[in-house]
Amino acid sequence: MQTVDWLWILHPALAVVLIYPLIGMVARLGIQARARRVEKAKLPPTTGRDHADLGQWLAAGVVLLVLVALTVVIATKTPPGEFAGGSGRALQLLLVLIGTVVSLLALWRVKAKAYRLVFALLTWAGVLGLGAQPEVWRLSDNPLSAEFWQSHYWSGVAVVGLMIFSLAARPEILRDLRWRRLHITASALAALLFVVQGITGSRDLLEIPLAWQKPTIYACDPVQRVCPPFAPAAPAPDAPAPAPEGT
């Protein structure tokens, strides 16, 4: 594997090692927090706070994970010298990436509702802006097609939106029952989308060849499921004749 191949598996590796275990912990603490509040279960009083704190880390981690994926795809799709738009476009995309990360950090810190709304929208816009680049592959952009609903990209974008919502609405979720119910619904949908992400991500990994294999694999016809014939291998050199006996 080359360096670019290691970069391409960075996104799924971080998802498996960090994000999915964190999802399990957040879901477990959420169930316990509801049982303590509704069913008066005898659980530690810190259960709800731990759920909220880990949920905040999960939301931010998912956004950063998607930004890592988008950055790697855009930066490594073509060699630097062949990058569409040249250094000017590369600088613009870098500024969008930095602005998105800064907006996410600001969303984490600010308390006022208006500021949380602004930074949530800026974070969401940054993710969508980077995801809209031609280097980012999607099955379909048409919501009326079946491929759209099977796309790893679009289910990932939906998860990011739900994570940004939970991060921005945290104070309201803690104080208001209606917001808490909305949060439960959004969390259930996010859990379903995380399952979809695991399935579609595994499927897409099967379709991504190593860097040295891409010229041959991309020459194949995915519709007809045929590939051009390989060039015949060079014949092996003749073995040297054995030396006469006694020499």
pLDDT digits (tens, 9 = 90+) for 97-143: 999 999 999 999 998 999 999 999 999 999 999 999 999 988 888 88
pLDDT value for 206? 84
Are the CB atoms for 91 and 97 separated by under 8 Å? no
Q: Could you read off the pLDDT of 219-236 as tens digits, one per residue?
A: 887 777 788 777 665 666
Q: What band does 240 get if pLDDT is binned at 50, 70 and 90?
A: low
**Tokens (6 digits) for 220:** 């194949």
Q: What is the pTM of this model?
A: 0.85
pLDDT value for 235? 65
Q: Could you read off the pLDDT of 70-86 as tens digits, one per residue?
A: 999 999 888 878 888 88
Which of 50-64, 118-132, 193-207, 224-238 has the weakest average pLDDT?
224-238
CA distances from 232 to 45, 193, 213 (A): 71, 46, 17
Name 221's bridge partners: 226
Name 226's bridge partners: 221
pLDDT exceeds cutoff 80 at 51:
yes
Mean pLDDT, the chain, rounded, equals 87
Backbone angles phi, psi at 127, to 5 degrees: -65, -45
pLDDT value for 195? 94
Which of 55-59, 217-221, 233-237 has the weakest average pLDDT?
233-237
